[in-house]
Amino acid sequence: MVVVVWWAWLLGALPLLGWLLWWWNELWYATPLNLRYSGTGTKLPPGHMGLPLFGEMFKFLWYFKVLRRPDDFINSKRRRYGDGAGIYRSYLFGSPSIIACSPSAVKFFYRSEDVFPLKWPNVDLVGLTSLVAVNGTGHARIRSYVSNAINGPDGLRRIAVAVQPRMVASLQSWAQMGRIKTFDQVKKLTFENIGKLFASLEPGPALDDMDRLFGGVVKGIRAQPLNFPGTAYHHALKCRKKLEAIFRVELEKKKKNHNGVQKTNDLMDGLIQMKDDEGNTLSDQEVVDNIVSLVVAGYESTSLATMWAVYFLAKSPTVLQKLRDENRAMRKNKQDYFITSEDVSKLKYTNQVVEETIRMANIAAFGFRLTTQEVEYKGYVIPKDWKVVLWFRYFQTNPENFDDPMCFNPDRWNGPARPGAYQVFGGGRRICAGNMLARIQLALFLHHLSVGYRWELLNPDAEMIYLSHPKPVDGVEVKFVTL
Ligand code: HEM
């Protein structure tokens, strides 16, 4: 009798439990809303919200981690639900979400900052008063200063001069080593240059410590926000605290120097002195938060782009040859070993290689927004308090946007991209504040790399990983020699 009851339970209750779990989020979030809208001609975007708490995270991880075909996550939705308005409902990264993956849908979410403010996960780690955390006028005033300092023509002219000595020194040291793991080396180079540009920090054990601390912060941004010993988030909070203490010491030193002793003229100096229209300066907290957020935004992204350039060029000898020819021609006509930002703008093919590298590298896979009120888009309801995931990655890999998208082909940049199809740096008011800085650093690096060095991938068939960012599993190990 007990066995019969047991079997009845197994056959009846388990499938029921499975069904309930599978439809849990649909029943909890979607069904009440769809009932409310029935008869109004609007409904939720198509999709499936998955299991309680996890939603579609297992499916996401299946495509990104197990199959290593990240774009099939969206392709499977397009196949199942059709293209519709380019939006799908889901439950991702701990929240009911709308996925936006078509140019017009993403544009819709860029349009209104008030309705769809930027919402970085775990933004407390980068700083609650930083550029990426504030909205409205607070955002506009810091953004305009930062953009001018690191992304405008004058800033870029100064930066071009400042970053090249370390690039050249690094390349020479790689050739001496003979064999390097590119990602580790470019990270070191990028961090040294960022340390110099942002806070006049010189290479040495203190900068190495900061590098480790930033590594801890970056890991925490993508982790579940569980604050107890042993979690990535807890560790990241501790790293953030230590970094804050270091930057506060630097800040005090700088304030003293501004009273007459010495001027360094780095980004931190600029932030300290910045005044808005009413003559207000930034608080110490704002200065520190913004420095931390800019390092977080620019460090890993620039390092990854540089690593990918080394990788793609090793696999594309014809492209490399054209790149060498263009850069050697420029070098011949120059007295100076270093080039200027004006020189970079004349390197047409090099800039195409930069653009194609950044497109293929697909570093920033997603952008996050929050819906602060219920709105309608093309007959679909976007509910209040849901997350919007702008699926940037898919734009660059969708064959409807780029012909043969997985082929590294700088010549595709002989003309502009299709309107709205290129989203590597996001768009709207929140478009990457360091996009020109990233581009010029890569172009300068390519100049020195292509005129002076030869390299070869040690694992040309290394597998790819896509989380936290796309990169070959070996970090691009190469044999590296002078030409
Ligand atoms: C290849 C390198 C880079 C890529 C692919 C990249 C990508 C992006 C993307 C997609 C966004 C928009 C996010 C959104 O809308 O949710 C963004 C924003 C941002 N990026 Fe970059 N980025 C790169 C390099 C840099 C660098 C070097 C810096 C500065 C040091 C920087 C600073 C920022 C800042 C401050 C924002 C926020 C802008 C705002 O909210 O107004 N990025 N980046």
Using N-to-C axis directions, what is the helix angle for 317-332 and 435-452, rounded to 10°?
Answer: 90
pLDDT value at 183 more than 70: yes
Q: Are the C-beta atoms of residues 423 and 429 closer than 8 Å to each other?
A: no
Q: Which of 304, 425, 439, 469 to mutate to test the pocket of ligand 1 (most atoms within 8 A of CB)?
A: 425
In this predicted model, what pLDDT tens digit does every residue of 414-462 receive, in sequence order? 999 999 999 999 999 999 999 999 999 999 999 999 999 999 999 999 9
Residue 479: predicted pLDDT: 98
Q: Residues 357-384: pLDDT tens digits?
A: 999 999 999 999 999 999 999 999 999 9
Atom of ligand 1 nearest to the CA of 110: 15
How remote is the CA of residue 426 from the centroid of ligand 1, in Å?
8
Alpha-carbon gap, residue 57 to 53, rounded angstroms: 9
Measured in angstroms, how far is the CA atom of residue 438 from the centroid of ligand 1? 9
Predicted local distance difference test score (pLDDT) of residue 141? 86
22-26 long-range contacts (CB < 8 A, ≥24 apart) are 22/50, 22/51, 24/50, 24/51, 24/52, 25/49, 25/50, 25/51, 25/52, 25/55, 25/91, 25/96
Q: Is the pLDDT of residue 225 over 90?
A: no
pLDDT at 69 over 80: yes
> 136 falls in which pLDDT band (50, 70, 90)?
confident
Q: Which two tokens stand for residue 119?
A: 């919402």
pLDDT at 259: 62
- The better pLDDT of the pair 141, 322 is held by 322
Residue 262: pLDDT over 60? no
Count of alpha carbons within 13 Å of 414, Cβ hemisphere only?
Answer: 3
The answer on pLDDT for 351 being more than 80 is yes
Residues with CB under 6 A from ligand 1: 118, 131-132, 143, 150, 294, 297-298, 301-302, 305, 358, 363-364, 367, 392, 424-426, 430, 432-434, 437-438
Atom of ligand 1 nearest to the CA of 438: 27
**Nearest atom of ligand 1 to the alpha carbon of 299:** 27
Band the pLDDT of 471: cuts 50, 70, 90: very high
Confirm whether pTM is higher than 0.80: yes
pLDDT (mean) for 188-201: 92
Lowest mean pLDDT among 202-206, 233-237, 303-307, 325-329: 202-206
**What is the pLDDT of the chain when averaged over all its residues?**
93
Ordered DSSP codes for 17-70: HHHHHHHHHIIIIIHHHHHHHTTTT-BPPSB---BTTTBTHHHHHIIIIIS--T
Confidence band, pLDDT 50/70/90 cuts, at residue 248: very high
Is 432 marked as binding a ligand?
A: yes
Q: Which atom of ligand 1 is nearest to the CA of 363?
A: 5
444 or 263, which is more confident: 444
Q: Whole-angstrom Cα distance, residue 339 to residue 105? A: 41
Looking at residue 14, what is its pLDDT? 85
Using the predicted structure, report yes or no on whether residue 261 has a pLDDT greater than 90: no
Contact 118/369 with Cβ under 8 angstroms?
yes
